[in-house]
Amino acid sequence: MELAVRQGEGPVKAETVATAQDIPHKFLEGILGDLRRGGVVDSRRGGGGGYRLAREAAEITVADVIRAVDGPIVSVRGERPTGLAYTGTAEPLLPLWIALRANVRRILEGVTVADLAAGELPDAVERLAAEPAAWENP
């Protein structure tokens, strides 16, 4: 989001982002490396170098960012749900994991970096977050 907010300023140095977000510089460099390899950010070396979004903020979803940094959005025991197989009484677990993945993807693919940078979430996400049960720790 910091890169999206600063998009018109040219490349942003990692130190600037680290300071603005109170993130350790070395930790942030690892994340920025993952985002670069994932095609979310570009980097330029040198005095005028730094990082910038590889595409318009409105074209980058939260799902893109999570996939670049963490891999698959939903996994079970380190595997994608589509790679799982259950038999017998456990068979209903597979459609459960698939449904969970579909719902998580629906939300994360429906929110862009531009939405977050503007401080606005889609109405459907706002409604879910406004439900009192969403804030409870069972």
Residue 119 DSSP class: T
H or E element: which one contains 102? helix 93-108
pLDDT in tens, the chain (138 residues): 999 999 888 899 999 999 999 999 999 999 999 999 999 999 999 888 999 999 999 999 999 999 999 988 888 888 888 889 999 999 999 999 999 999 999 999 999 999 999 999 999 999 999 999 999 987
Full set of structural domains in the chain with CATH: 1-54 (1.10.10.10), 60-138 (no CATH)
pLDDT digits (tens, 9 = 90+) for 20-55: 999 999 999 999 999 999 999 999 998 889 999 999
Other beta carbons within 10 Å of 16 = 16
H or E element: which one contains 41? strand 41-44
Please name the residues in contact with 75: beta carbons below 8 A apart, sequence gap of 6 or more. 81
